[in-house]
Structure 1
Amino acid sequence: MNRYCLALDLIDDPTLIRQYEYYHQNGWPEIKASILDAGILNMEIYRIGNRLFMIMDTDASFSFEKKAAMDAANPKVQEWETLMWTYQQSLPQAKPGEKWLLMDKIFQL
């Protein structure tokens, strides 16, 4: 199993943040299926203020390239991503079009 940690910001607006949380607490079944089909065993998203932190535990079949290709071919995932982008904003160090950025592990006990 591999673990990945990623970060992203939300637009700093309380109404938009509530809407974003609502969508994630009432997720679309097609999105959950696409996550599992990509080899993601567990996914958690945490928030403080407008900063999001995602933890993904994956099996050996997972790759970011495979997930991106699967997502590009899935109209429902594209619809979800377009909707989510109305709430999200890139981190300052992101390249154009980048959303979730992979974090570097700097400590483990």
Structure 2
Amino acid sequence: MKRYCLALDLKDDPRLIAVYEERHKAVWPEIIKSIKDAGIESMEIYRITNRLFMIMDVNDDFSFEKKAAADEVNSKVQEWEKLMWQYQQALPNANPGEKWMLMEQIFKL
């Protein structure tokens, strides 16, 4: 099992943030399936102000490249991502088109 942590910002609008959180109370079943099919065993998202923090525990079959390739041909995932982008914004140092950014672990106890 391997763990990845990622960050992304939401648009700094309390109304949009509330809708984003509400949508995550009922994530579409096709999205849950695509996450599990990719080898993601556990996923959690936390928020402080408009900053999101995601923790993913993945199995040995997981790779970001395989997940991206599967998502690219999955119309439901594409629909979900387009919908979520209405609420999200890239981190200031993100490359064009980059959303969730991988964080570097700097301490572990």
TM interval, shorter chain, is: over 0.9
Task: Check if 1:32 corresponds to 2:29.
Answer: no
Q: CA deviation at 1:38?
A: 0.2
Counterpart AA for 2:80: W
Q: 1:40 offset after TM fit, Å? A: 0.1
Q: Distance in 1 between matches of 2:102 and 2:27?
A: 23
Q: How does 1:1-109 map to 2 (within 5 A)?
A: 1-109=1-109
Query: Percent of pairs identical after alignment?
Result: 70
| 1:72 CA drift (Å) | 0.3
Give the root-mean-square deviation of aligned CA atoms. 0.3
Cα distance in 1 between the residues matched to 2:104 and 2:47:
18
Shift of 1:28: 0.4
User: In 2, distance between residues paired with 1:24 and 1:65?
Assistant: 24
Mapped to 2, the partners of 1:34 and 1:24 lie a distance apart of: 15
C-alpha distance in 2 between matches for 1:103 and 1:56: 12
Q: Deviations over 1:27-48 (max 9, x none)?
A: 1000000000000000000000
Partner amino acid for 2:44? Answer: E
Shift of 1:14: 0.5
Structure 2 length normalisation: TM-score? 0.99
Measure, in 1, the Cα distance between the counterparts of 2:48 and 2:77: 25
Alpha-carbon offset, residue 7 of structure 1: 0.1
> Shift of the alpha carbon at 1:86?
0.4
Give the TM-score normalised by structure 1: 0.99
Structure 1 unaligned runs (5+)?
none
